[in-house]
Amino acid sequence: GENVEQHPSTLSVQEGDSAVIKCTYSDSASNYFPWYKQELGKGPQLIIDIRSNVGEKKDQRIAVTLNKTAKHFSLHITETQPEDSAVYFCAASRVADSNYQLIWGAGTKLIIKP
Amino acid sequence: GAVVSQHPSRVICKSGTSVKIECRSLDFQATTMFWYRQFPKQSLMLMATSNEGSKATYEQGVEKDKFLINHASLTLSTLTVTSAHPEDSSFYICSAPTGGRNIQYFGAGTRLSVL
Protein backbone atom coordinates (compact mmCIF):
# COMPACT_ATOMS: atom_id res chain seq x y z
CA GLY A 1 0.00 0.00 0.00
CA GLU A 2 0.87 3.67 -0.08
CA ASN A 3 3.50 4.98 2.30
CA VAL A 4 4.30 8.64 2.89
CA GLU A 5 7.51 9.78 4.52
CA GLN A 6 7.93 13.32 5.81
CA HIS A 7 11.07 15.23 6.81
CA PRO A 8 12.19 16.84 8.97
CA SER A 9 10.26 15.95 12.10
CA THR A 10 11.15 19.32 13.64
CA LEU A 11 12.17 22.50 11.88
CA SER A 12 13.22 25.68 13.59
CA VAL A 13 13.69 28.84 11.51
CA GLN A 14 14.21 32.50 12.22
CA GLU A 15 11.21 34.74 11.68
CA GLY A 16 11.31 36.09 8.16
CA ASP A 17 13.29 33.17 6.77
CA SER A 18 11.88 30.42 4.56
CA ALA A 19 10.87 26.94 5.63
CA VAL A 20 10.79 23.83 3.47
CA ILE A 21 9.17 20.52 4.39
CA LYS A 22 9.57 17.49 2.14
CA CYS A 23 7.52 14.36 1.59
CA THR A 24 7.98 11.26 -0.53
CA TYR A 25 5.34 8.75 -1.51
CA SER A 26 5.53 5.20 -2.76
CA ASP A 27 2.39 4.67 -4.86
CA SER A 28 2.92 6.09 -8.34
CA ALA A 29 -0.86 6.08 -8.82
CA SER A 30 -1.33 8.73 -6.13
CA ASN A 31 -2.61 11.90 -7.74
CA TYR A 32 -3.69 14.26 -4.97
CA PHE A 33 -1.35 15.80 -2.38
CA PRO A 34 -2.73 18.10 0.31
CA TRP A 35 -0.89 19.88 3.10
CA TYR A 36 -2.52 20.47 6.46
CA LYS A 37 -1.61 22.75 9.35
CA GLN A 38 -2.54 21.65 12.84
CA GLU A 39 -2.36 23.98 15.80
CA LEU A 40 -2.25 22.60 19.32
CA GLY A 41 -5.56 21.09 20.37
CA LYS A 42 -7.26 21.72 17.04
CA GLY A 43 -8.18 19.75 13.96
CA PRO A 44 -6.01 19.90 10.81
CA GLN A 45 -6.68 22.77 8.46
CA LEU A 46 -6.08 22.46 4.72
CA ILE A 47 -3.61 25.12 3.62
CA ILE A 48 -2.77 24.10 0.07
CA ASP A 49 -3.05 21.10 -2.21
CA ILE A 50 -1.77 19.98 -5.58
CA ARG A 51 -2.89 17.46 -8.14
CA SER A 52 -0.64 15.31 -10.28
CA ASN A 53 -1.30 17.26 -13.47
CA VAL A 54 0.41 20.33 -11.99
CA GLY A 55 4.05 20.80 -10.99
CA GLU A 56 3.72 23.82 -8.74
CA LYS A 57 1.04 25.81 -6.99
CA LYS A 58 1.34 29.02 -5.02
CA ASP A 59 -0.90 30.89 -2.62
CA GLN A 60 0.66 34.06 -1.21
CA ARG A 61 3.52 32.95 1.10
CA ILE A 62 2.83 29.25 0.64
CA ALA A 63 3.81 27.08 -2.32
CA VAL A 64 3.86 23.39 -3.08
CA THR A 65 5.97 21.64 -5.69
CA LEU A 66 5.48 18.16 -7.05
CA ASN A 67 7.99 15.91 -8.80
CA LYS A 68 6.04 12.92 -10.10
CA THR A 69 9.09 11.17 -11.48
CA ALA A 70 10.89 11.24 -8.16
CA LYS A 71 7.63 10.83 -6.24
CA HIS A 72 8.19 13.67 -3.87
CA PHE A 73 6.47 16.93 -3.05
CA SER A 74 7.45 19.85 -0.87
CA LEU A 75 5.86 22.68 1.07
CA HIS A 76 7.55 26.07 0.94
CA ILE A 77 6.70 28.88 3.35
CA THR A 78 8.38 32.21 2.72
CA GLU A 79 8.71 35.20 5.04
CA THR A 80 7.75 33.07 8.02
CA GLN A 81 5.77 34.64 10.84
CA PRO A 82 5.15 33.55 14.45
CA GLU A 83 1.64 32.41 13.55
CA ASP A 84 3.15 29.87 11.15
CA SER A 85 4.32 27.87 14.16
CA ALA A 86 2.34 24.61 14.11
CA VAL A 87 2.57 20.99 13.05
CA TYR A 88 2.34 20.45 9.30
CA PHE A 89 1.22 17.20 7.72
CA CYS A 90 1.51 16.10 4.14
CA ALA A 91 -0.76 13.44 2.69
CA ALA A 92 -1.27 11.50 -0.51
CA SER A 93 -4.38 10.08 -2.04
CA ARG A 94 -5.30 7.99 -5.04
CA VAL A 95 -8.56 9.54 -5.99
CA ALA A 96 -10.66 6.92 -7.69
CA ASP A 97 -14.39 6.50 -7.62
CA SER A 98 -15.47 7.34 -4.08
CA ASN A 99 -12.21 6.54 -2.34
CA TYR A 100 -11.11 9.66 -0.52
CA GLN A 101 -8.74 8.02 1.93
CA LEU A 102 -5.60 10.02 2.76
CA ILE A 103 -2.26 8.46 3.65
CA TRP A 104 -0.51 10.74 6.10
CA GLY A 105 3.06 11.74 6.72
CA ALA A 106 4.34 11.72 10.30
CA GLY A 107 4.20 15.50 10.63
CA THR A 108 6.71 18.34 11.00
CA LYS A 109 6.73 20.64 13.98
CA LEU A 110 7.62 24.08 12.67
CA ILE A 111 9.01 26.54 15.19
CA ILE A 112 9.40 30.17 14.21
CA LYS A 113 11.95 31.92 16.37
CA PRO A 114 11.31 35.65 16.96
CA GLY B 1 -13.76 26.23 2.68
CA ALA B 2 -16.44 23.82 3.78
CA VAL B 3 -17.29 23.59 7.46
CA VAL B 4 -17.26 20.46 9.59
CA SER B 5 -18.53 20.80 13.14
CA GLN B 6 -17.48 18.34 15.83
CA HIS B 7 -18.89 18.12 19.35
CA PRO B 8 -18.03 17.98 22.13
CA SER B 9 -14.58 19.52 22.04
CA ARG B 10 -13.64 18.06 25.38
CA VAL B 11 -15.12 15.29 27.49
CA ILE B 12 -14.04 13.78 30.78
CA CYS B 13 -15.75 10.60 31.87
CA LYS B 14 -15.46 7.77 34.32
CA SER B 15 -14.18 4.38 33.29
CA GLY B 16 -16.99 2.15 32.03
CA THR B 17 -19.20 4.87 30.65
CA SER B 18 -19.96 5.46 26.97
CA VAL B 19 -19.21 8.66 25.14
CA LYS B 20 -20.78 9.89 21.92
CA ILE B 21 -19.01 12.28 19.56
CA GLU B 22 -20.88 14.03 16.76
CA CYS B 23 -19.54 15.15 13.41
CA ARG B 24 -21.66 17.37 11.17
CA SER B 25 -21.07 18.77 7.72
CA LEU B 26 -22.68 22.20 7.94
CA ASP B 27 -22.81 23.42 4.36
CA PHE B 28 -22.51 20.28 2.27
CA GLN B 29 -23.68 16.70 2.21
CA ALA B 30 -21.25 13.92 3.02
CA THR B 31 -22.01 10.33 2.14
CA THR B 32 -18.62 9.44 3.58
CA MET B 33 -16.92 10.67 6.73
CA PHE B 34 -13.70 9.55 8.37
CA TRP B 35 -12.86 9.07 12.02
CA TYR B 36 -9.28 9.45 13.18
CA ARG B 37 -7.47 9.00 16.44
CA GLN B 38 -4.37 10.99 17.26
CA PHE B 39 -1.91 10.32 20.05
CA PRO B 40 0.32 13.13 21.37
CA LYS B 41 3.01 14.21 18.91
CA GLN B 42 1.89 11.64 16.35
CA SER B 43 0.16 11.64 13.02
CA LEU B 44 -3.50 10.91 12.43
CA MET B 45 -4.49 7.26 12.53
CA LEU B 46 -7.54 6.34 10.50
CA MET B 47 -9.97 4.32 12.60
CA ALA B 48 -12.91 3.87 10.28
CA THR B 49 -14.80 5.13 7.28
CA SER B 50 -18.39 6.08 7.99
CA ASN B 51 -20.83 5.43 5.16
CA GLU B 52 -24.28 6.98 5.05
CA GLY B 53 -26.96 4.33 5.01
CA SER B 54 -24.60 1.38 5.41
CA LYS B 55 -22.12 -0.14 7.80
CA ALA B 56 -18.88 1.57 8.61
CA THR B 57 -15.60 0.17 7.36
CA TYR B 58 -13.09 -0.31 10.15
CA GLU B 59 -9.31 -0.35 9.84
CA GLN B 60 -7.38 -3.37 10.94
CA GLY B 61 -7.04 -3.54 14.69
CA VAL B 62 -9.96 -1.24 15.47
CA GLU B 63 -12.72 -2.95 17.44
CA LYS B 64 -16.07 -2.22 15.81
CA ASP B 65 -17.97 -3.16 18.96
CA LYS B 66 -15.84 -0.75 20.95
CA PHE B 67 -16.12 2.17 18.56
CA LEU B 68 -19.67 2.28 17.24
CA ILE B 69 -20.24 4.43 14.20
CA ASN B 70 -23.59 5.60 12.92
CA HIS B 71 -24.08 7.67 9.79
CA ALA B 72 -27.80 8.24 9.84
CA SER B 73 -28.01 11.22 7.54
CA LEU B 74 -26.02 12.97 4.83
CA THR B 75 -24.76 15.55 7.33
CA LEU B 76 -24.22 13.62 10.57
CA SER B 77 -21.94 10.83 11.69
CA THR B 78 -21.49 9.77 15.30
CA LEU B 79 -18.74 7.84 17.03
CA THR B 80 -19.61 6.17 20.33
CA VAL B 81 -16.80 4.92 22.51
CA THR B 82 -18.45 2.17 24.51
CA SER B 83 -17.38 1.20 28.01
CA ALA B 84 -14.50 3.64 27.86
CA HIS B 85 -11.26 2.88 29.67
CA PRO B 86 -8.22 5.06 30.38
CA GLU B 87 -6.40 3.64 27.37
CA ASP B 88 -9.15 5.09 25.16
CA SER B 89 -8.10 8.58 26.21
CA SER B 90 -7.02 10.36 23.06
CA PHE B 91 -7.80 13.09 20.55
CA TYR B 92 -10.52 12.00 18.12
CA ILE B 93 -11.03 13.88 14.86
CA CYS B 94 -13.56 13.51 12.09
CA SER B 95 -13.35 14.64 8.50
CA ALA B 96 -15.61 14.79 5.49
CA PRO B 97 -14.73 15.10 1.81
CA THR B 98 -16.58 17.55 -0.37
CA GLY B 99 -18.44 15.99 -3.21
CA GLY B 100 -16.51 15.78 -6.45
CA ARG B 101 -13.36 17.54 -5.30
CA ASN B 102 -12.02 14.98 -2.83
CA ILE B 103 -10.84 17.67 -0.45
CA GLN B 104 -11.21 16.65 3.17
CA TYR B 105 -12.28 19.13 5.79
CA PHE B 106 -11.75 18.38 9.44
CA GLY B 107 -13.65 18.96 12.63
CA ALA B 108 -11.95 20.69 15.54
CA GLY B 109 -11.41 17.40 17.35
CA THR B 110 -12.58 15.93 20.65
CA ARG B 111 -10.24 15.45 23.57
CA LEU B 112 -11.43 12.39 25.51
CA SER B 113 -10.09 11.80 28.99
CA VAL B 114 -11.21 8.64 30.78
CA LEU B 115 -10.55 8.59 34.49
**CA A108 → CA A36, A48, A54, B60, B62, distances in Å?**
11, 16, 24, 26, 26
Task: Say which of A34, A43, A101 has its CB closest to residue B109.
Answer: A43
Examine the pLDDT at B100 and tell me if it is beyond 80.
no
Q: Which of B87, B85, B69 is nearest to B77 (CA)?
A: B69
The mean pLDDT of chain B is 92
Examine the pLDDT at B20 and tell me if it is beyond 90.
yes
pLDDT of amino acid B41:
87
Task: Say which of A42, A49, A105 has its CB closest to residue B103.
Answer: A49
Contact A95, B102 (CB under 8 A): yes
* CB spacing of B104 vs A46 below 8 angstroms: yes
The rounded distance, in Å, linking the Cα atoms of B93 and B111 is 9
Start-end of H helices in B2-115? none
